[in-house]
Chain A
Amino acid sequence: MNEVTSNNVDRENLYGLAAEFTTTPAIYHAAEKANAAGFKWFDCLVPFPVHGLDRVMGVKMTILPILVFFGGMMGLTAACVLQIFTNSLEFDFWALLPVVGYQYDVSGKPLLAAAAFVPVAFEMTVLFSALTAVFGTMFLNKLPMFYHPTLKHEALARATDDRFFLIIEARDPKFSYEEVEAFMLSLNPETVIELEK
């Protein structure tokens, strides 16, 4: 097709331009070229993670694993504090906290039984790490976000089905309508679509 579907979006209201592709090699090379051309505010909308696409787009490694590590450590600490404080003898600094130990005397076994505290400590480490992984991803991805220019255009609905889109946003310092349009057409897309903010 190689033509621009003009929605007559005025330039003030232009979110960016989208180029539509049908194959993974096409989007892969398009993203590679967009990155090489020096665009910063560009993205690819794809129905599944295309292997290596994030790398050629120049996406930096996410900090998520670090967050998850600290989440896990928090879980471990919380579990240890919870178990030690609630099952142990009184400590001198007890008064600082509204927690009083409940001492179960079972066959005279130690109240602070490190080995017996392992399972709960493990489970809570995993729990907090998993919660951090999921909510951390949502936070870093700024989801939920129910309004977005790319969700507005009908043609882009196929990004969750079988089409691949390269989006270059108007806020990119290198963005100029004519140049980006020419750049996109040079990639031989199905269509180029104007996106309204």
Chain B
Amino acid sequence: MTTAPVNKPDNTIEDPSNRPKLILNHTDFGSVTTDILRANESPKPPKSWYFALAVSFTMMSMLGLMIGYLLLTGVGVWGNNNPVAWGYPIVNFVFWVGIGHAGTLISAILFLFRQKWRTAINRFAEAMTIFAVICAGTFPGIHIGRVWLAYWLFPIPNQMDMWPQFRSPLLWDVFAVGTYFTVSLLFWYLGMVPDLATMRDRATTKTKQLVYGIFSLGWRGSMRHWHRYERAYLLLAALATPLVLSVHSVVSFDFAVAQLPGWHTTIFPPYFVAGAIFSGFAMVMTLAIPARQLWGLKNFITMRHLENMCKIVLFTGSIVGYAYAMEFFIAWYSGEIYESFTFINRAFGPYGWAYWIMVSCNVVTPQIFWFKKARNNIAIIFTASLFINVGMWFERFVIVVTSLANDFLPSSWGMYEPTWVDVLTFLGSFGLFMTFFLLFIRYLPILAIAELKAIMPIADPHGHGHSYNEMTSETDAQAELAEEDE
């Protein structure tokens, strides 16, 4: 949609004497507002948006139907059995919680590390986090079997004098995921208030003005407010940083605290956290690439941003690869026959195909990002991110299913096969996720407008750019490029 030339000048060049520009082809605040909100303010979104929404909504309805069918019939409609009592629902839960980790990583950890490129991607990564956690929360909710008793998970006084078991990792999960959802929602909303005020002030219809007006809480941009707001944002970032590391650690305790071979290992918390960030970033890329195209945001989500994300994916993917190798090493080094058997069984047993999908997607695929050519090629980035999404789902499948299916005594072994209800429920959760996401990009500020303005060179009140973008004007940039060509 933006007519301005895209990614010219090239901001992926590494030159220590010149900090790369993070916002291209914009030299004033007004055009940043207009260009980011163009898609929101246009009377009609592109046709592809309607098409995507129709598909997502259909898939979401399918999720509703599947849950309805499950409730009316019972958990027998799933492939879950004894010994594999966890099956798809828990695989999907861990998968979605993992996806939900990138948002808070970008908004909190990268904020504390002063990584200013995060401002272009934090808003929709946070939104993605919230929607992914909603999807994640659905699965344990329906997996408990008697859904009408889901409130037993919470410490609510009742006539039976019954309380939850606080020494169980499954209950820690309730608190970890609950806290994570609440804090992510607050972080997202707090960050959005000034941008909602921008939308309120630019609203063209009474309804928009009223709705954005209510949600922007009467924000008027007072510097006295900004002072407290900035402090609150910093505090939330500092709180969310250990939180994001704790959430997937707690999820990994669900496995690590059990005694099953293949689960009972101390490497699980860091391994799960790295995997979560890995899958989350892959999902951010999967969504960012079409979104920047459709919504005309290539000047804000530049190649530099995608390249940085590729580097994080390469790093976390390598940690995941190391964890896979270390699990095998320890299985052998421990001398434990069950542990050794489990790992050999994972790679060469009946579920070996899933193991090798996992390894090729998660360990081999990201290695392509060692090459700058690959990091700067949209098609490669997008394909790799899809592979990683698939690989990370299979990682959870391998962990959940193989350890349960073949544990200690062969007499208690049992194979697992998903039913059509399992598969459609999982696909339906993508519908839920995408429906929320599509509504978000249409009706809410997709990028953090105020934060983006603050990293522009002209935002520096001392007039000389010691801020992040050294050069702004096109001519400067082109002169710079010409120099480099020589």
Residues of A near any B CB (own CB < 8 A): 23-25, 27-28, 31, 43-54, 57, 59, 62, 64-65, 68, 82-83, 86-87, 98-102, 104, 106, 109, 113, 116-117, 119-120, 122-124, 126-127, 129-131, 133-134, 136-138, 140-141, 143-148, 150-151, 156-162
Contacts and interface: CB of A to CB of B under 8 A. Distances in A.
B179 A127 contact: yes
Contact of B459 (A51, A59, A130): A51
Interface string B154-189: 010100011111110101100110110011001101
B461 A151 contact: no
Contacts of B444: none
Nearest to A26: B461
Given A25-B461, A137-B190, A150 B217 contact: no
7 contacts: A28-B461, A49-B229, A52-B461, A83-B166, A86-B155, A143-B217, A147-B218
Interface in B444-476: 450-451, 453-454, 458-463
A120 B166 contact: yes
Interface string B194-222: 10011011100000000001100111111
Contacts of A158: 201
B387 interface: no
B373 interface: no
A86 B418 CA distance: 38
B169 to A, nearest CB: 8
Contacts of B242: 122, 126
Contact of A148 (B164, B218, B454): B218
Given A48-B451, A120-B175, A162-B33, A24 B228 contact: no
Contacts of A53: 223, 226, 461
B239 interface: yes
B179 to A, nearest CB: 4
A64 B214 CA distance: 24
The SS class assigned to the A binding surface is: helix
Contact of A129 (B166, B178, B231, B239): B239
B44 interface: no
Given A86-B166, A120-B171, A130 B30 contact: no
A23 B165 contact: no
B29 interface: yes
B223 A123 contact: no
Contact of A102 (B162, B171, B235): B162
Given A47-B453, A146-B213, 15 more contacts: A47-B198, A48-B453, A50-B461, A64-B231, A98-B157, A99-B157, A119-B169, A119-B175, A126-B240, A133-B186, A134-B232, A137-B231, A150-B222, A151-B218, A160-B219
B47 interface: no
B94 interface: no
Contacts of A24: 458-461
B397 interface: no
A32 to B, nearest CB: 10
Contacts of B253: 119
Given A24-B460, A100-B161, A126 B183 contact: yes
Contact of A150 (B220, B235, B239, B454): B220
A190 to B, nearest CB: 13
Nearest to A110: B167
